[in-house]
Amino acid sequence: MAPGGITVRRIEVGHAGEPGAYTVTVGADLLAGLSVPERHVALIHPVDLPREFVAQVQAALNPAVTVEVPARDDCKTLDVLGGVLSRLAGANIPRDGAVVGLGGGAATDLAGFAAASYLRGVAFYTLPTTLLGMVDAAVGGKTGVNLPEGKNLVGAFWPPRAVWCDTGTLASLPQAVFREGAAEAFKHGLISDPSLLPRVLDPEFRPGGALLEGTVADAITVKAGVVTRDPTERGERAYLNFGHTLAHALEAVTHHGVSHGDAVGYGLHYAARLSRALGGSDLTDHTRAFLRWQRPPPLPALTYEDVAPFMARDKKADADGVRFVLLRALADPYLTRVPESVLRAEFTGWQADLEELGLGGAGLPAAPLHNPAPT
């Protein structure tokens, strides 16, 4: 039980007793009751995090050093990583110390990579405070930073020792930021647990709503199961990237003017169109419904040529080119190559759908496009 008698859910990642196994705890009012066995702790959090969350964790863990980093993806750079590592060294964090990442998915990705890199690896704990961080970034042990050439191109697998998802922190989020994070929960419904689809769109799926904790915990359960079976993305873990090939390209081509959650919402619809084009069930009604609910900012005017070089750098690409995660039907994902002609045609159709939804070609007019050199 959490303080005040609130029931918590605990989800196991990995197999108990084996290296890399840990527990994800989901519930309200968890931050004040935190405890870790390490005596020397470094706390890393984004600069825009509510001070009350930082103060609660500082009171609970008494960190030797607290490091503020830029908000959102602005923190996921090699320069910021270098500064964080210098702060850990300056505070004499020892090999038996720990790094605690508090904040959204970007900050916890950075904190985890710092923990994996410093002294060749120290203990890491994750305290996600956004929906996106809870249902995706904090679970699975993927850590890293971005390069100008693409998203998450530098990183390491470094599982946390524990994850605490304090759902009370979600009340601090603007509605748009909460809905960004819902894209990953909805994706988990598409690839594994269709019961999540109506729950994510239900009015009670909101901070303080009756469906919040259960939906968050069930979305985490999907990812926990996948990463337990495939911890280093040798097989089915790639399915968690449904919708992400275009999503990461949208983030990169706009210099992160499009947020990750919004980009995933857009990417889910493109992947649903590709799935249908290659003979799968027509799931585009689901992804249209999600975009109507999510209401992401409209995209800038983009061409296929703008995004194609970034899709080519997708992490699922191999020596023979890009592979896409698609769906034969709900909860039936697979990995495949898609002919260039289909990618182009469905991009055009995807843009037409966005125009119908009022989401295409008008947003972010000042965002500079980054067209990489040919590879």
Q: Is residue 372 part of a domain?
A: no
Told to judge if 233 belongs to the known catalytic residues of this protein, a careful annotator would answer yes
Residues 7 and 71 in one domain: yes
User: Which pLDDT does position 374 carry in this prediction?
Assistant: 32
225 and 249 fall within a common domain: no
Kindly state whether residue 365 falls inside one of the protein's structural domains: no
Mean pLDDT (whole number) for 354-374: 58
**Can you tell me the distance from the alpha carbon of 371 to that of 375, in angstroms, rounded to the nearest whole number?**
11
Instruction: Give the pLDDT of residue 361.
Output: 62
CATH of the domain at 216: 3.40.50.1970
For the residues 298-311, what does the mean pLDDT come to?
Answer: 93
Known catalytic membership, residue 184: yes
The answer to the question of residue 109 being in a domain is yes
For residues 187 and 153, state if they share a domain.
Answer: yes
CA dist., res. 135 & res. 185, Å (int)? 6
Catalytic residue among 260, 269, 273, 323: 260
Residue 10, in any domain of the structure = yes
Pairing state between β 150-157 and 142-147: antiparallel
**Active-site residue, selected from the candidate residues 76, 248, 269, 323:** 248
Same domain, 250 and 107: no
pLDDT surpasses 50 at 1: no
When pLDDT is cut at 50, 70 and 90, the band that residue 193 belongs to is: very high
Strand pairing report for 98-103 and 41-46: parallel
Catalytic site residue 188?
no
Are 170 and 223 part of one and the same domain? yes
Residue in the block written with tokens 């609910």: 293
Which of the listed residues 194, 229, 264 is the one where a domain comes to its end? 229
Classify the phi-psi angles of 120: left when phi > 0, otherwise alpha if psi is within -120 to 50, otherwise beta: left
| Claim to verify: residue 278 and residue 349 sit in the same structural domain | yes
Q: Which is the catalytic residue, given 40, 45, 76, 142?
A: 142
- Selected catalytic residue, list 244, 273, 313, 323: 244
Q: What pLDDT shows up at residue 319?
A: 65
* pLDDT (average), residues 111-127: 96
Residue 4 pLDDT > 50: no
Q: Is the pLDDT of residue 3 over 50?
A: no
Instruction: Give the distance, in angstroms, between the CA of residue 280 and the centroid of all CA atoms in the same chain.
Output: 26
Average pLDDT over residues 89-117: 95
Residue 308 sits in the same domain as residue 189: no
Instruction: Choose the final residue of a domain: 229, 260, 281.
Output: 229
Gap between the Cα atoms of 53 and 225, Å rounded: 29
> Is there a domain that residue 375 lies in?
no
Shared domain for 130 and 266, answered yes or no, is no
pLDDT in tens, 53-75: 999 999 999 999 999 999 988 99
Residue 22, pLDDT above cutoff 50: yes
pLDDT for residue 207: 94
pLDDT at residue 2 is higher than 60: no
| Same domain assignment for residues 270 and 200 | no
Write the pLDDT tens digit of every residue in 151-179: 788 999 999 999 999 999 999 999 999 99
Give yes or no for residue 140 having a pLDDT over 50: yes
Looking at residues 211-221, what average pLDDT do you find? 96
Residue from 241, 256, 269, 346 carrying the catalytic annotation: 241
Domain limit, last residue, from 207, 229, 251 = 229
Confirm whether 201 is domain-assigned: yes
Give me the CATH number covering residue 332: 1.20.1090.10
Q: Quick check: is 260 catalytic?
A: yes
Number of domains in the chain: 2
- Is 142 an annotated catalytic residue? yes
- Tens-digit pLDDT profile for residues 325-363: 999 999 999 999 999 999 999 999 999 999 999 997 654
Question: Is it the case that residue 235 has pLDDT exceeding 90?
Answer: no
Choose the catalytic residue: 38, 68, 233, 251.
233
What would the DSSP string read from start to end of 328-368? EETTEEEEE---HHHHHHHHHHHHHHHHHHT-SS-S-TTPP
Asked about 295 being catalytic, the answer comes back as: no
Given this model, what pLDDT does residue 168 score? 94
Half-sphere exposure of 102 (CA within 13 A, CB side): 31
The domain of 202 spans 3-229
Residue 151 confidence (pLDDT): 79
Question: Is 151 a member of any domain?
Answer: yes
Confidence band of 293 (pLDDT split at 50, 70, 90) = very high
Does residue 374 form part of some domain? no
Would you call 244 a catalytic residue per the annotation? yes
Do 60 and 189 reside in the same domain of the chain?
yes
Whether residues 150 and 174 share a domain: the answer is yes
pTM over 0.85: yes
Q: What is the pLDDT of the chain when averaged over all its residues? A: 90
Mean pLDDT for the stretch of residues 190-217: 96
Residue 301 and residue 185 in one domain: no
